[in-house]
Amino acid sequence: MVAPFLLLEVSTEMIKGLKLTLLASVAAMASVQAQAADNINVVLAGLNESSATERINFSGKLRMLSQRISASACNLNADIDGDLSLQMLRSSHAEFNKIIDALEFGNIDLHIKNAENRPEVLTAIANLRTKWRPINAAADKMIARDHGAEDIATINAKNLDLLKSAQNLVRVIKTTHATAGNSDDGLTSLIDVAGRQRMLTQKMSKEACQIWSGDGSAETIAALEGTMQLFEQSLINLRDGNDTAGIASAPNARIKTGLEGIWTSWAERKPVLAKAQAAETVDEATRGQVLRQMNEMLRSSNNVVGLYAALNNKAGIVEDVGATERINFSGKLRMLSQRIAANACLYNAGIEPKTSRKLLSASSVEFDKIANALEFGDADLRIRGVEERRKTLFAIAQLREQWAPIKTAVDDLVRNGPTESAMATIASSNMELLGRAKLLVSELSGQYSDPSAMDQADAMAIDISGRQRMLTQKMLKEACLIWTGNQSADAKGALNGTMQMFEVSLNALLDGLPAAGIQAAPTAEISDQLKVVFKDWAEVKPVLLATMSGETVDDAVKADGFHTLNTTLKDMNQAVGMYTQEAKTGL
């Protein structure tokens, strides 16, 4: 085991008057004009929908991920652009797990609002989990670079069964939605076909890799030919329409422009894939180029799918650029900075090592995804368009600068296990990363808290509730520091301060704190969700108090604290999503 984390936080991180701390959130937005809600006439459509479009979109994305996992595993095994291949495998593996859980249990970040309750859909999800299980295990071993020939063989042999099971889930969700009496003028079919295009980019990448890796069988060559033909014909249908296939032409200029851009890319890349189809040998550089180019086509296709999904969520006279989402997800970066530090400490200490390593890897993937979304947009997260404000771009650049060495250290931990250098990097840098993330939240809160997007009180509620997510992981990190030997007064004081801030802020969100400009929970639904968080807090608080007092805490109790704080995080994240939605509907 590597030596425990050094304590990096001093008394300045403790609470010096919790009311002043909460008032700081107001000061950060002092330049924002008060909203004149009565003067705005905005109608937001589709916010109370059954999440049907999201469920079709994301179940369709599982099809793509089944093929992206196999494509990246093939290229990683062949040592083609190893860093990119490993990054693709890690991100796809984490995203598959996130989406399948979201479809079953709901996920407010993905706008899948409720747990699934339709038996036929639950059966399809259970079948998909069965197909996913062996690939999940094999991919996890490849990510840890602890794999053998049997692991890539498992992925190669089983990925098409996984694809078929994902396709069945899409079909069941579509059918269930249609029979529920919902009319969408064919939108769900368009999302399905456009979503399938994402999968086909990765299926072509996989099939080309398999051929160039020695599988020149007639079956694989025929599969690539069929995939190329289906991709091309579907792209034409989406762009121009096909009455026979029941596909309408591009419904607006943005979607048409996106499809035309994909067509241009396809015309450039098709000849290289044709070489694989003809079983022609290409060099390693060309293979790496195909991997990258098909990844670019995937991103372009995903953007188009997001535009289709957004057709049900337009904002009357105001275009929704994802103002509330930008504040929500920038706030999530604060949490991830501490979740990474907490799970690195736990992994190093041997506390729930398998789970903590997976969370460490998934948190790194999510940090990258959110940072990219805030800069370039992300249809999945409903962040529309690239960021253009120079001060915000500078804050993102500063965040990336601080993130780069931590990301490298996390990659080292995930691949090689705990090392002195990786642990030291995370220990010495995580609080600075948190500081950069806080600065970004402040910039975005000021930028997007305006009467056309959301008011100051809403922005503050999203900010403070979002900070609660971070505090769950900061407490976990600080507890881990004490569990691993740091019994100093400063270590215990830091945990005490974080606990107080969490509890006082939770009370303020539920009941209001007028002196700090914080309103009580605006809806019964949000109030009920905050009470769920209180219940979580009541469970874990005794463990933290025992830790802070210097009592010996056994491994079982540490594990319970770890899992309960992660449950608190999940439940708090649900509340943040509710605040985000309320900020839109309450305009």
> What is the rounded distance in angstroms from the CA atom of residue 224 to the CA atom of residue 67?
13
Q: What does the pLDDT read at residue 216?
A: 80
Is 9 a member of any domain? no
Query: 323: closest CA among 281, 385, 253, 261?
Result: 385
143 and 275 housed in the same domain: yes
Query: 182: closest CA among 307, 56, 308?
Result: 56
Is 272 a member of any domain? yes
Is 363 a member of any domain? yes
Last residue of a domain, one of 261, 287, 311: 311
pLDDT of 67 > 50? The answer is yes
397 and 468 housed in the same domain: yes
30-34, 121-125, 246-250, 411-415, range with the lowest pLDDT: 30-34
Q: Are 488 and 11 in contact (CB under 8 A)?
A: no
pLDDT tens for 328-353 read 899 899 999 999 999 999 999 999 99
Query: 179: closest CA among 120, 122, 126, 127?
Result: 120
pLDDT averaged over every residue in the chain = 85
> What is the rounded distance in angstroms from the CA atom of residue 4 to the CA atom of residue 561?
19
Q: With cut-offs at 50, 70 and 90, classify the pLDDT of residue 35.
A: very low
Tokens standing for residue 427: 């220990």
14-18, 283-287, 340-344, range with the lowest pLDDT: 14-18
Mean predicted confidence (pLDDT) in 291-309: 90
Q: What does the pLDDT read at residue 5?
A: 39
pLDDT tens for 388-442 read 889 999 999 999 999 999 999 999 999 889 999 999 999 999 999 999 999 998 8
> What is the rounded distance in angstroms from the CA atom of residue 488 to the CA atom of residue 258?
57
Backbone dihedral angles phi then psi of residue 328, each to the nearest 5 degrees: -60, -50
pTM recorded for the entire structure: 0.79
pLDDT of 356 > 90? The answer is yes
Last residue of a domain, one of 247, 280, 311: 311
The structure tokens 């994909």 sit at 262
512 and 571 housed in the same domain: yes
Is 47 a member of any domain? no
Q: What does the pLDDT read at residue 178?
A: 59
With b for 16 or more beta-carbon neighbours within 10 A and e for fewer, the 131-164 pattern comes to bbebbbebbbbbbeeebeeebbebbbebbbebbe
DSSP-H helix ranges across 385-523: 390-416, 420-448, 456-483, 489-511
Q: With cut-offs at 50, 70 and 90, classify the pLDDT of residue 22.
A: very low
Q: What does the pLDDT read at residue 310?
A: 74
Q: What does the pLDDT read at residue 185?
A: 59
65-74, 270-279, 511-520, 567-576, range with the lowest pLDDT: 511-520
Tokens standing for residue 83: 């860093």
> What is the rounded distance in angstroms from the CA atom of residue 298 to the CA atom of residue 503?
43
CA angle 541, 547, 552 (to 5 degrees): 130
Q: What does the pLDDT read at residue 39?
A: 31
> What is the rounded distance in angstroms from the CA atom of residue 461 to the CA atom of residue 586?
13
The structure tokens 């604290």 sit at 561
pLDDT of 136 > 50? The answer is yes
Mean predicted confidence (pLDDT) in 297-310: 87
Q: What does the pLDDT read at residue 4?
A: 40
35-49, 255-269, 355-369, 473-487, range with the lowest pLDDT: 35-49
Q: With cut-offs at 50, 70 and 90, classify the pLDDT of residue 43.
A: very low
Is 394 a member of any domain? yes
Is 353 a member of any domain? yes
CA angle 396, 400, 402 (to 5 degrees): 120
490 and 515 housed in the same domain: yes
Q: What does the pLDDT read at residue 179?
A: 55
Give the count of domains, the chain. Answer: 2
Q: What does the pLDDT read at residue 410?
A: 96
- Furthest CA-CA distance within the chain: 74
| Run of H or E residues at 258 | helix 253-277
> What is the rounded distance in angstroms from the CA atom of residue 41 to the CA atom of residue 584?
12
Q: What is the DSSP letter of 317?
A: T
297 and 337 housed in the same domain: no
Q: With cut-offs at 50, 70 and 90, classify the pLDDT of residue 320.
A: low
373 and 304 housed in the same domain: no
Q: What is the DSSP letter of 44?
A: B
The domain of 562 spans: 321-585
Backbone dihedral angles phi then psi of residue 107, each to the nearest 5 degrees: -155, 110
382 and 497 housed in the same domain: yes
352 and 306 housed in the same domain: no
User: Of residues 379 and 320, which shows the higher confidence score?
Assistant: 379
Helix, strand, coil percentages for the chain (3-state, nearest 5): 75, 0, 20
473, with CB counted inside 10 A (0-12, 13-18, 19+), is: buried
Q: What does the pLDDT read at residue 445?
A: 81
350 and 275 housed in the same domain: no
Q: With cut-offs at 50, 70 and 90, classify the pLDDT of residue 312.
A: low
Q: What does the pLDDT read at residue 153?
A: 94
pLDDT of 19 > 50? The answer is no
Is 15 a member of any domain? no
> What is the rounded distance in angstroms from the CA atom of residue 165 to the CA atom of residue 121?
12
pLDDT tens for 460-511 read 777 888 889 999 999 999 999 999 988 889 999 999 999 999 999 999 999 9
Q: What does the pLDDT read at residue 449?
A: 65
367 and 504 housed in the same domain: yes
Tokens standing for residue 513: 């704190």
The radius of gyration computed from the CA coordinates of the chain, to the nearest angstrom, equals 24
pLDDT of 452 > 70? The answer is no
483 and 450 housed in the same domain: yes
Is 561 a member of any domain? yes
User: Of residues 515 and 40, which shows the higher confidence score?
Assistant: 515
Mean predicted confidence (pLDDT) in 167-176: 92
337 and 300 housed in the same domain: no
> What is the rounded distance in angstroms from the CA atom of residue 163 to the CA atom of residue 185?
27
Q: What does the pLDDT read at residue 28?
A: 41
Last residue of a domain, one of 264, 287, 311: 311
Q: What is the number of other CB atoms lying within 10 angstroms of the CB of residue 534? A: 16
